[in-house]
Structure 1
Amino acid sequence: MKRYIKKLSYLLLTLTLLMGACQPEETLIITPPNAEFTLDAPGISNVYLNFALPNNPAFTITWKDDITGSSDYTVEMSTDDAFTSPVTLGTSTTDNFSMTVSDFNDAIVSTGVTNFSDIAVYMRVNGGGTYTNSILFLVTSYPVNAPTFGAGGAANGDSFSLSLANNDQIAITIAWEDPILASNLVDVDYYVEGAAPSTNFITPIEAAMVTNQTSVTLTNAELNALAIESGIAVDATGDLEIRVRSVITDAASGSVLERISTSITISVTTYLTVLDLSTTWGVVGSAANNWGATPDLPFYKTDVDGVIAAYVTLTDGEIKFRENNDWANNYGSNSSTGGALVAGGGNLTVSAGAYKIVMDLNNLTYTIESFSLGIVGSSYNNWGATPDFMLEYDPYSDVFRGIATLLTGEMKFRMNNDWTVNYGDNGNDGTLDAGGANIVTTAGIYIVTVNMNDMTYTLEPIDYVWGLVGSAYNNWGATPDAQFTRDWSQPFGDVWILRDVDLLAGEYKFRANNDWAVNYGDNGSNGTLEAGGANIVSTAGTYTITLDFTDPANPTYTVN
């Protein structure tokens, strides 16, 4: 029975196969892909161009070409999707193209775009006259063109006549334009620099620096200093070139992008900031400088030609007057109180004290008189309980000056530590009146100036008086610091000088007001001062030391 069932199964299978073989055959159609010339969508659509990486690829694009049969492709860009003014970026013989940061940035700048972020840049590829679709990048670029001098500021050919009377008033405004600032993308430092004409700014002189601003002003004093440093003589007219240098710094790498404007040339008439009252004559003697062991005490010009004056502090002894620190031309006299000058004459005997000596070289006569100008009062010495604070003659301005620490109280000026000649101020207007009212003071440190020519005075408050302290001088403060004085020859700088100080082999620092609250050393032994910096090593000897705090951010010192 099983055998019949098996045979029946084979018969049914055969019939099924025969019936399937008799069905009509269906046709299979395979469709090939459409031919295309297509620019692939970029992996990124925002491109940031970093000037610190100029040779890095800015972008890479690829395309597919099944139809042009071209082996040369031209890549174009435009700032509008209609490609109104296409710019050729380059060519390729393959199906891809890339461009460096600097080249792409230059291409964008060439289109005249004035903004620097979200710049729409459309790209397409031309293959034998057939174009791909376009793709869009949003680009952040960096500036290439330099700032340009703008309206509202100095222009080429302008003239500026400066004067001491307008010393602190604005003399010039320098303005420029720079579109990068409108983007608020980066901080831009602008340096205004000057130089002598036709020097190509080999040694530029910095006049001012501002950040993210498009103008600076210079006072008469600042423009005068710039012009004189460039080479224009004092009380003369000359040309000065001015330019603007832009600096952008990449925070990550420290790389700098510098752009320099074209320069303008202006005419500047300068003025004398300090007087030159020097002469070739001096006081020599046992009472002055041990007969020439140090330079003679100087005579200065007065308002009368040929009449010269010296303000000196002498010891008991003898003096004479000579020219050029040399005995070839010298004068003495037969009288120690004044009279005729005698060529090669006798020594003059003097007692210790402060004196004004006047030589009249026109008539060969001289006078010598006690002369000192000091501060007296409750604000300084309890109205004379101790010696008055003496002012010193400043030949650079023809005034008397001193740096005094005053108390809250009252003061006057008087001559020779005596009340015979004294001055106050009746109107509190800065004018001195003989025997006038006491001058009220507030505690502090002051530059005190008295002008005996027009009988005026000023009290200018300052924060610090500088001194030298250390094992090289006073065993780190066991005795008072060596005190610096202001360098009056630089009236617009904060310069201090300590002349002929004797130092031991050791170390020293500079500090303010004989106190450690504010002190400076030198960490790099490079002449730059750092707050709280390292001790400065000294070799035994006699030195003149200068401190320059004119630029508070970069104080310096010199040792000669």
Structure 2
Amino acid sequence: MKKYINKLFVICSLLFLGISCENDAVLTTLEQVSFSGPVEASSNTIVLSTENENQSVTTISWPAVKYPINAPVTYALQFDLPANAIGATAWSKAVRVEAGENVLSKSFIGSELNKLAIKLGLPIDVASKIVFRVEANMDRKSYSDAIELTITPYIKQVISGEIYMPGSYQGEWNVETAAALKTIDNGIYQGYVTFPATEGLGFKFTSERNWDQFYGADANGNILEGSDTDFAVAQAGSYQMTINLNTNKWTATPFSWGIVGDGTAAPTNEDANYGWNHSIGMTYNHQTNIWKFRGELRVGNVKFRLNDSWTINYGAKNNDEGIMYLDNPGAHYIGEAGMYEITFSIQEKDATTGLFPASATYTVTKL
């Protein structure tokens, strides 16, 4: 009897494996996919300058890639130098720009293309060649042929200067220790401020570290010289403040560096990678220009990212250097659970290129 049971078991196992292999074949032997037509750029030779920095300088378009599965296709563009687009390591250093799901074109304004060209190392005021290709991705990736562009990048000259932002976020309105907003363009200033939940939300601007010339809000909340009405943000938090004295407008955009990693939070039933998917925001000290976190950490890894997104992130190569590198996959390892203070010091984006620095410094201190 046992012999027959064993035979039946073997037959059933073979049938199961046969069915499994057949299903795997359906999933892994999908037909080849490719771009059905040429990729085109509305302009292949582009001279960039301050005159076209806010204008569309080229639009790249491509045909849809038809996959056998009826699902959204995600498209992106890869840009690189011609020499880096050939050989065994082709495209490994490419700058990648997301286009979106089922999107068949991407337009670039002058400032965007200028940042990209400078990031690739093109010389200023010299016509140089780059190449790009389109990436289609669903269950696997397909790439278009490479297309060549000739780009002449430029460096934007910026007049230096500052205005100041006294406010209740300081605990007291002290113009001498108020946040300094630096020039990013003629008449336009930018800086970073954290509004603690324990303080108020009001503020003003001054042209010097005194009250001789100050700016408050008009009836519509715009900038008015000499107004006694305070500006105010909507709620506590960290912001990138942008002040335009040419248009008398200001904006407060949520902006926060945060720590992220499995050293910050335990997995949950809903998210096994909770620590990697949720940043913990840091607070900004406008006098020292340092971002700070203080709290409990677990054994695990931590790194830094901007605005709870992986678009801009920094990782460590080791625990001893005290340096974080842009887009580095490494992290700082927390070897012992407990209360920690972490600081992150990073230069602002380059005013001429709009690019984040290649590295930043940090400290990790167990309290």
Per the normalisation by structure 1, the TM-score is: 0.37
Deviation of 1:448 after TM superposition, in Å, equals 2.9
1:266 matched residue in structure 2: 149
2:291 and 2:345 in contact (8 A); partners too: yes
Q: What letter is aligned with 2:212?
A: T
Which of 132, 149, 156 aligns to 2:38? It is 149
Which of 226, 248, 253 aligns to 1:461? It is 253
Distance in 2, matches of 1:51 and 1:272, equals 53
1:419 matched residue in structure 2: 211
Q: 1:46-445, aligned counterparts within 5 Å?
A: 142-146=31-35, 148-150=37-39, 154-155=41-42, 158-164=44-50, 167=53, 170-181=56-67, 183-185=68-70, 188-200=73-85, 202=90, 203-249=93-139, 257-272=140-155, 275=157, 373-377=163-167, 384=173, 386=174, 389-392=177-180, 394=182, 401-406=190-195, 410-414=202-206, 418-426=210-218, 431=223, 433=225, 435-441=226-232, 442-444=234-236, 445=238
- For residues 432 and 447 of structure 1, do their structure 2 counterparts lie closer, same or farther at Cα, with a shift above 3 Å needed? farther
Distance in 1, matches of 2:210 and 2:285, equals 28
Distance in 2, matches of 1:266 and 1:52, equals 38
In the TM superposition, what whole-angstrom CA distance separates every residue of 1:236-290 from its partner, at most 9, and x where no partner exists? 44333221133443xxxxxxx54322122223343435x578xxxxxxxxxxxxx
Unaligned runs of 5+ residues in structure 2 are: 1-21, 261-281, 293-298, 306-312, 320-327, 337-342, 349-357, 363-367
Deviation of 1:438 after TM superposition, in Å, equals 2.7
Equivalenced residues, count: 273
Deviation of 1:169 after TM superposition, in Å, equals 5.4
Structure scoring higher RCO (CA < 8 A, sep ≥ 6) equals 2
Aligned-pair identity (%): 17
In the TM superposition, what whole-angstrom CA distance separates every residue of 1:212-236 from its partner, at most 9, and x where no partner exists? 4433333433322222223323344
1:158 and 1:266 in contact (8 A); partners too: yes
Counterpart secondary structure, 1:222: helix
Deviation of 1:484 after TM superposition, in Å, equals 6.8
2:179 and 2:286 in contact (8 A); partners too: no
- For residues 147 and 241 of structure 1, do their structure 2 counterparts lie closer, same or farther at Cα, with a shift above 3 Å needed? farther
- For residues 462 and 175 of structure 1, do their structure 2 counterparts lie closer, same or farther at Cα, with a shift above 3 Å needed? same
Per the normalisation by structure 2, the TM-score is: 0.52
- What's the RMSD between the two structures over aligned residues? 5.3
- For residues 49 and 179 of structure 1, do their structure 2 counterparts lie closer, same or farther at Cα, with a shift above 3 Å needed? farther
Deviation of 1:409 after TM superposition, in Å, equals 5.8
Counterpart secondary structure, 1:421: strand
More helix by share: 2
Distance in 2, matches of 1:51 and 1:216, equals 34
2:65 and 2:136 in contact (8 A); partners too: no
Distance in 2, matches of 1:424 and 1:387, equals 14
In the TM superposition, what whole-angstrom CA distance separates every residue of 1:150-187 from its partner, at most 9, and x where no partner exists? 5xx515x6333445566565543322124515x54455
In the TM superposition, what whole-angstrom CA distance separates every residue of 1:44-65 from its partner, at most 9, and x where no partner exists? xxx9995975xxxxxxxxxxxx
Counterpart secondary structure, 2:211: coil
Counterpart secondary structure, 1:148: coil
In the TM superposition, what whole-angstrom CA distance separates every residue of 1:467-496 from its partner, at most 9, and x where no partner exists? 89xxxxxxxxxxxx885779xxxxxxxxx9
